[in-house]
Chain A
Amino acid sequence: GAGVSQSPRYKVAKRGQDVALRCDPISGHVSLFWYQQALGQGPEFLTYFQNEAQLDKSGLPSDRFFAERPEGSVSTLKIQRTQQEDSAVYLCASSFAGDRGELFFGEGSRLTVL
């Protein structure tokens, strides 16, 4: 399909496990964003890439969270030693027009930490 693709759609992890969430943006979109959305809340910014450069990671809640986009296309969000408070939907979005254009979101990866 032509949209943003995220995998896995659902992930259940035991507390302390590491998880990796993948995002495949729309082809040609240079900007890629990760957001975290808790139940009943709006998406909260985590980090932003322009091509392979991570320009803003100020939203990452702790050093357990790490994101990369090594070739400027697919991105991976990694969470180490997961905690229950990490349970949320992780949304990836991409944009052609840098940080001011419309964001196109994937369906998200729903993480549940037991």
Chain B
Amino acid sequence: RKEVEQDPGPFNVPEGATVAFNCTYSNSASQSFFWYRQDCRKEPKLLMSVYSSGNEDGRFTAQLNRASQYISLLIRDSKLSDSATYLCVVNRDTGRRALTFGSGTRLQVQP
């Protein structure tokens, strides 16, 4: 079982739609959580950190459920420019300390 699992998609949504991505992680020692965005043939870039209380950044809302080991990302009012792959990322506090990436969920926003 992979340490971070995501639905690969693709999610095809119309402009203006609300879309949600989910991610589960297997290592309960994970302490830090992030969503990264990766455009086609480009490098990953940090979209937002995920905090236990949930956090919002404009049209983006991230939630963390430690009990269920589940992370979500909600995008409201989707724009064409949101089309990308969204990578769920966790960081353990012990053992291997590097970030562990999921395989990504591809989003295609259509006009």
A18 interface hit (Cβ, 8 Å): no
Interface string of A36-59 (1 = CB under 8 A from B): 000011111100100000011011
The interface size bin for chain B is 20 to 34
Among B8, B96, B101, point to the contact of A56 (Cβ < 8 A).
B96
Flag the segment in B12-20, B40-48, B64-72, B74-82 that touches A: B40-48
Interface size on A, residues (CB 8 A): 22
Q: Please report which residues of chain A, range 68-108, place their CB below 8 angstroms from some CB of chain B when the two chains form the complex.
A: 91, 99-100, 102-103, 105-108
Question: Given the complex, which residues of B lie within 8 Å of A56, measured CB to CB?
Answer: 96-98
Contact B43 A107, beta carbon cutoff 8 Å: yes
Q: Cβ of B96 and Cβ of A42 under 8 Å apart?
A: no
Q: Which of A33, A44, A102, A106 contacts B43 (CB 8 A)?
A: A106
Q: Is the CB of B101 within 8 A of A100?
A: no
Quick one: which of B76-108 are within 8 Å of A by CB? 87, 91, 96-104
With A42-B87, A100-B32 as known contacts, state yes or no: A105 contacts B44, CB within 8 Å. Answer: yes
Q: How far is the CB of A110 from chain B (nearest CB, A)?
A: 9
Q: From A50, which residue of chain B is reached at the shortest CB distance?
A: B97
In Å, the complex CA distance between A43 and B100 comes to: 8
In the complex, the answer to whether B102 meets A42 with C-beta atoms within 8 Å is yes
Closest CB of chain B to A112's CB: distance in Å?
14
Least CB distance, B55 to chain A, in whole angstroms: 15
User: Are the CB atoms of B43 and A45 closer together than 8 Å?
Assistant: no
Name A95's closest neighbour in chain B (CB-CB): B99
Inter-subunit contact B44/A48 (CB<8 Å): no
User: Is B98 a contact partner of A42 (Cβ separation < 8 A)?
Assistant: no
Hey, which chain A residues are within 8 Å of B97, CB to CB?
48, 55-56, 99-100
